[in-house]
């Protein structure tokens, strides 16, 4: 069992390597190695000397080979490091790899080698600090893949070492999952309740990777997860649901169970939100439609909690357009107290133009004001166009002080189309006193919504401006022009051939139209 891996408390010593080795697959019953340090056997024996002895084992023979193996056996920690480093060589022959594994047998077989490797790697990690520990843990994990039977036991022991920071243990948790036999996959499920978010996240991500790649592992793990869900463990359920949501597909019974959990007000928030994510990812139309009561529970007349509003927001994104609009109108969510939920409701069920303009004038939240305007589309009345123009103009001329709202008004003018809307957009584009960001938004709307007339307006602004940042924005906008007219090429080339930060943006725009900067007249 691997029950102690993630359950170890930070203040207590995790199970030692002996316990980890006991849980690992047993291949040999050789005697455990002596713990005598290498420096007590040969005074000048170090990592370099151990590496030379490993090379002697690989290529030597006779008395030199026997002596090298004797020195390695007397310095097990150094031997373990040297063997692990050498096993990484992809050019090793089968015979050479066998000789290296024989050194592990000299260290006490799988069980003894585990103890030696754990001591060696713990010592190496203890020498480092901070980010270097994490980097070394990743390097050690790469070496573990070459250790054969000792791989799982070493990964288990290092993952269980509560004296190491969680960030350092996380790579070994991932390696443990990768090395675990498929028929033991169910042992991972109870560990999903671990309190440490770093270890829990590492376990969840590693489990997802293994489930995607190993059908046998997936079968065993799914059965264990379903059993845990049936028992209603509140700490395991959210993790299981998140794992299923991250997979390419999920069992229909699991999705049905998730839809039920999402609607259950007695379930913890973490379980309900994870259940909604799973239904949104893998649910059928009928299963997603079952989330409508979650949306209704956030009706402002019922004084909903913050959690209810968060759940409604997630459920709203899972519904089809028609179901979402109907649910919003039924629950009157456009008047929700939560600004993010109100904005989502306004996008799902737009208000009539005049009501949207009224909301955009008085609501205190910029995101809500912008969302109200996002539902306005053409044809628009003269009064609507005029009101949108007032919102989009510079703040010191009575416009909205927030750029996100002004941008929404400009986009609404683009959807309104028509000559009146274009005149307002062009006026803001050419207004030297307007904020640069607002003028750049006007340029995008002009090009996207008003065709050749809008493109010419952008070129007019480009030819007259001397502002470097605005120049760069304008030439970037022209990259989306449907075609490169002679005037567009000439104007953009003029920017590309003069020094300044806008030159790079101009060259990118020329490249977007298939024109090399060398074709510009000034560069020939």
Q: CA 500, CA 364: separation in Å to the nearest integer? A: 40
Task: Please report the sign of the dihedral spanned by the C-alpha atoms of residue 452, residue 457, residue 461, residue 463.
Answer: positive
Give pLDDT, residue 38.
38
Q: CA 521, CA 242: separation in Å to the nearest integer? A: 58
Q: What does pTM read for this prediction?
A: 0.74
Question: Angle between the 436-449 and 451-464 helix axes, to the nearest 10 degrees?
Answer: 150
Q: CA 63, CA 82: separation in Å to the nearest integer? A: 21
Give pLDDT, residue 32.
36
Q: Could you tell me the two tokens for 452?
A: 């050749």
Question: Tokens 């209603």, residue?
Answer: 232
Residue 379 sits at the vertex; the CA angle it makes with 374 and 385, to the nearest 5 degrees, is 65
- The count of other CB atoms within 10 Å of the CB of residue 138 is 13
- Please answer whether residues 250 and 284 qualify as being in contact, where contact means their C-beta atoms are separated by less than 8 angstroms: no
Give the per-residue SS3 of 250-303: CCHHHHHHHHHHHHCCCCCHHHHHHHHHHHHHHCCHHHHHCCHHHHHCCCHHHC
Give pLDDT, residue 60.
79
Half-sphere exposure of 366 (CA within 13 A, CB side): 10
Q: CA 124, CA 5: separation in Å to the nearest integer? A: 20
- Please answer whether residues 138 and 171 qualify as being in contact, where contact means their C-beta atoms are separated by less than 8 angstroms: yes
- Please answer whether residues 288 and 279 qualify as being in contact, where contact means their C-beta atoms are separated by less than 8 angstroms: yes
Half-sphere exposure of 241 (CA within 13 A, CB side): 31
Q: CA 222, CA 368: separation in Å to the nearest integer? A: 42
Give pLDDT, residue 41.
47
Residues of the chain below pLDDT 50: 1, 8-41, 523-524
pLDDT tens across 167-214, in order?
999 999 999 999 999 999 999 999 998 889 999 999 999 999 999 999
Question: Angle between the 62-74 and 47-59 helix axes, to the nearest 10 degrees?
Answer: 140
The SS3 of residue 427 is helix
SS3 content of the chain, % helix, strand, coil (to 5): 70, 0, 30
Q: List the beta strands (DSSP E) in 266-355.
A: none
Give pLDDT, residue 175.
95
Which CB contacts under 8 angstroms, 24+ apart, belong to 359-365? Answer: 360/391, 360/400, 360/405, 360/408, 360/409, 361/391, 365/339
Q: Could you tell me the two tokens for 488?
A: 């567009």
The SS3 of residue 324 is helix
Q: Could you tell me the two tokens for 422?
A: 């274009």
**CA distances, 117 to each of 44, 106, 181, 235 (Å):** 21, 13, 21, 34
Give pLDDT, residue 7.
54
* Alpha helices (H) in 60-196, listed in sequence order: 62-74, 76-87, 94-106, 109-126, 131-144, 150-159, 166-179
Give pLDDT, residue 23.
43
The SS3 of residue 492 is helix
**CA distances, 114 to each of 111, 141, 213 (Å):** 5, 14, 27
Q: Could you tell me the two tokens for 389?
A: 């123009």
């Amino acid at each position: 069992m691997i029950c102690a891996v993630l359950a170890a408390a930070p203040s207590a010593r995790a199970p030692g390597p002996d316990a980890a080795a006991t849980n690992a697959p047993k291949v040999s019953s050789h005697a455990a190695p002596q713990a005598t340090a290498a420096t007590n056997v040969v005074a000048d024996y170090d990592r370099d000397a151990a590496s030379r002895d490993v090379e002697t084992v690989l290529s030597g023979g006779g008395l030199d080979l026997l002596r090298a193996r004797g020195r390695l056996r007397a310095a097990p920690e150094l031997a373990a490091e040297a063997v692990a480093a050498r096993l990484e060589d992809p050019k090793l022959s089968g015979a050479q790899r066998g000789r290296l594994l024989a050194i592990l047998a000299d260290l006490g077989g799988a069980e003894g080698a585990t103890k030696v490797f754990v001591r060696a790697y713990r010592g190496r990690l203890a020498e480092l600090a901070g980010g270097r520990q994490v980097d070394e843990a990743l390097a050690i994990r790469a070496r573990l893949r070459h250790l054969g039977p000792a791989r799982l036991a070493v990964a288990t022991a290092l993952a269980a070492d509560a004296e190491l920071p969680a960030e350092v243990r996380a790579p070994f948790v991932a390696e443990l999952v990768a090395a675990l036999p498929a028929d033991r996959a169910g042992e991972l499920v109870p560990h999903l309740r671990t309190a440490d978010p770093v270890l829990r996240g590492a376990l969840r991500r590693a489990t997802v990777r293994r489930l995607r790649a190993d059908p046998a592992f997936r079968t065993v793990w799914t059965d264990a997860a379903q059993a845990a869900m049936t028992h209603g463990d509140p700490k395991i359920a959210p993790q299981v649901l998140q794992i299923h949501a991250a997979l390419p597909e999920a069992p229909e019974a699991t999705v049905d169970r998730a839809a039920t959990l999402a609607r259950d007000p007695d379930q913890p928030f973490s379980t309900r939100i994870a259940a909604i994510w799973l239904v949104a990812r893998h649910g059928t139309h009928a299963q997603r439609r079952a989330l409508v009561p979650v949306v209704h529970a956030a009706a402002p007349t019922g004084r909903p909690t913050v959690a209810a509003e968060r759940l409604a927001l997630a459920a709203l994104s899972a519904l089809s357009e028609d179901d979402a609009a109907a649910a919003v109108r039924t629950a009157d969510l456009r008047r929700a107290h939560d600004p993010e939920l109100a904005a989502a409701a306004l996008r799902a069920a737009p208000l009539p133009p005049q009501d949207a303009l009224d909301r955009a004038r008085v609501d205190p939240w910029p995101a809500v004001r912008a969302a109200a305007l996002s539902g306005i589309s053409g044809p628009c009345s003269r009064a609507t166009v005029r009101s949108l123009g007032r919102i989009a103009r510079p703040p010191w001329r009575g416009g909205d002080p927030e750029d996100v709202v002004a941008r929404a008004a400009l986009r609404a003018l683009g959807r309104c189309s028509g000559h009146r809307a274009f005149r307002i957009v062009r006026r803001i584009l050419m207004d030297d006193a307007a904020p640069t960001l607002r003028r750049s938004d006007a340029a995008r709307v002009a090009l996207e919504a008003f065709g050749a007339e809008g493109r010419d307006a952008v070129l007019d602004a480009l030819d007259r401006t001397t502002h470097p940042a605005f120049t760069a924005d304008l030439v970037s906008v022209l990259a989306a022009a449907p075609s490169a007219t002679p005037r567009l090429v000439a104007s953009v080339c003029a920017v590309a051939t003069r020094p300044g930060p806008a030159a790079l943006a101009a060259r990118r725009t020329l490249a977007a139209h298939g024109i090399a900067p060398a074709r510009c007249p000034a560069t020939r």
